[in-house]
Homo-oligomer: A and B are copies of this chain.
């Protein structure tokens, strides 16, 4: 190994065995590695994570993540993507792990449908999916995903606990409201896709990575974070295929 700092886009690999080979290879080295889970760096989402740490909503009881793309990718992308759960939901699995902190996810149940894209059918993938996960402490987590939200990139997170609820809502380019002659109040469309929605998060993530290198500190998104999200995606497929709730093993 060249000893260079590594910034690795998610997923580390689609195959957990190859991920584990990497894991062995880097064991004992001090090379900083950061996994590209950009949503952790979004100021609204991370405000929820901080609120949970700081007990602002009391004991966490439910976590709900809505994550929908504006339009499905093409056939070539779909062939290489490794399946909807590993390509898309993996971001939400990581976001759930981020917010839960040290309360690990222990169970998952997964549902998928083919409702939107002919290309998705061709590769026998899903374009619509829902998940329930359970943490060790009993927190229930719901995730829903779609390959097509005609109104834009729908990215919402909700935490619910013994002392209240917080929602990280969608965002619009401007703060303009319009009340039109059709008697309707309307706002800006929400951001179109991840480039617009997470622009600042990408910047902040990159700065964080640079700080990690400069300060020889631990990466804020570790190799294990990347591996654990893939384990959840794999367990979700196992649930989908078996019709069963799957107990997660991170070993």
List, in ascending order, chain B residues with CB within 8 A of A150's CB: 162-164, 180-181, 183
Range for the number of chain A residues in contact with chain B: 35 or more
Task: Flag A35-46 by CB within 8 Å of B: 1 or 0 each.
Answer: 000000001100
Q: Nearest CB to that of A134 among chain B residues?
A: B111
Interface pair B163/A115, CB less than 8 Å apart? no
B47, B107, B180, B189: the one within 8 Å of A185 (CB): B189
- How many monomers of this protein are in the complex? 4
A175-B170 CB under 8 A given contacts A111-B134, A142-B144: yes
Query: In the complex, A169→B165 CA distance in Å?
Result: 15
List, in ascending order, chain B residues with CB within 8 A of A142's CB: 130, 132, 142, 144
Task: Flag A156-171 by CB within 8 Å of B: 1 or 0 each.
Answer: 0000101111111111
Query: In the complex, A132→B243 CA distance in Å?
Result: 12
Which residues in A have some Cβ–Cβ distance to B below 8 Å? 43-44, 47-48, 51, 56, 58-59, 61-62, 64, 66, 68, 107, 109, 111, 113-116, 128-132, 134, 138-142, 144, 146, 148-152, 154, 160, 162-190, 192, 243-245
